[in-house]
Amino acid sequence: MYLEKLRLLNAEFKEVEIKLGDLSIVLNQEEYKKILKQYSYLRLIAEKYTQYSKILSSIKDTEELKNSEDPQIKELAFAEYGELIKIKNKIESEIKELLIPPDPNDDKNIIVEIRAGTGGDEAALFVGDLYRMYTRFAEKNGWKYETLDSNPTGLGGYKEIIFEISGNGVWRYFKFEKGTHRVQRVPETEISGRVHTSAVTVAIFPEAEEVDVEIKMEDLRIDTYRSSGAGGQHVNKTDSAIRITHLPTGLVVACQDERSQIKNRAKAFKVLRAKLYDRKILENTKQISNERKLQVGSGDRSEKIRTYNYPQNRITDHRIGYSVHNINEVMDGDLSGLVSKLIEAEMEFKLKENNG
């Protein structure tokens, strides 16, 4: 079933192994990094190919022994055959997962952008709640985070907040969060006790390096202005805030959190590069085929992905029809249960696509 696929990938592994010894590739850091990543993946395939070939050979030998005229040998062969089949099934299960091509962004850090949608002050407060949920989740996993820009409201919420999370496997766990998050609860300011429905949008961008996307200075308009909002008197005295407009796409990013114009500029460039890279990925995805896009999440920011129902202590992920009833724990950063289910759903989808 898998032997021919493994044989082809094993041959590819040997070709890549030879490339790693090519001096011209070694001297080209960008190409070498790409080949090294490919080598690491194919090496696992090659190891599994060896295991699988050996187990199939053992099964074939044991099948012959099952026809032995010696009753003792025959009995031992039948017992060994059953064990070999179990091992074969286990290896095939591992192969199925290995044959799913790795996500090229799995080792990237991310930039998260949360914006208040419908619901006024209540939506802004929920932006703050999600920010806390994500940063607590990051802390629980040993990841680091840093705020890049924010637009706070007077009640402790945010109209918008942008932050970076860095660490091993961050993209893998956060990529499912993009879309519209809806909250149903009684706002603190609501005297009658009526449940309100508000919404915020979340965008997740894999952090891009300079090699991932080219930014030409002639394509940019860079403006400086005085910061607004919290920050004391200093923000009103210097033009430290930065706004960058990418003219070809119309993308605009701004950063005012730092007192230093240089730091704000660096952060703004980081966000712009990530957004341009995300746009490039989405364009490539559309070119491949809209029908093949993973149904767990299309990446569309307008797609309603999750509802947080406080009165019923329930969070429902609409993409996979899965609910949990521990809203306080999840909002305190315990996202593991939800994320694990989404990873499983993605795996099932890719397995069907790969074997279809």
Same domain, 165 and 242: no
Same domain, 82 and 162: no
**Alpha carbons 147 and 45: distance in angstroms, whole number:** 40
Strands 179-185 and 304-309: parallel
- Chosen domain end from 244, 267, 286: 286
**Domain contains 53:** yes
Residue 349's identity, in one-letter code, is F
**pLDDT computed for residue 333 by the predictor:** 96
Rg (CA), the chain: 26
Tell me how far the alpha carbon of residue 211 is from its chain's centroid: 20
152 SS3 class: strand
pLDDT tens readout for residues 237-282: 567 889 999 999 999 998 887 788 888 888 999 899 899 988 887 7
117 SS3 class: coil
164 SS3 class: strand
The answer to whether 280 and 213 have CB atoms below 8 angstroms apart is yes
**pLDDT computed for residue 55 by the predictor:** 94
Q: Print the domain residue range for 43.
A: 3-98
User: Which stretches of 191-318 are assigned E, i.e. beta strand?
Assistant: 196-206, 220-225, 241-246, 251-255, 304-309, 314-317
- CB-based burial label for 342 (10 Å; 0-12, 13-18, 19+): buried
| Those residues with Cβ within 8 angstroms of residue 225's Cβ, 6 or more apart along the chain or in another chain | 239, 241, 243
Residue 347 sits in a domain of what CATH number?
3.30.70.1660
Instruction: Indicate the average pLDDT of the chain.
Output: 85
Same domain, 81 and 138: no
Number of structural domains in the chain: 3
pLDDT tens readout for residues 74-130: 889 899 999 999 999 999 888 887 887 777 788 789 999 999 998 888 999 999 999
**Alpha carbons 100 and 110: distance in angstroms, whole number:** 22
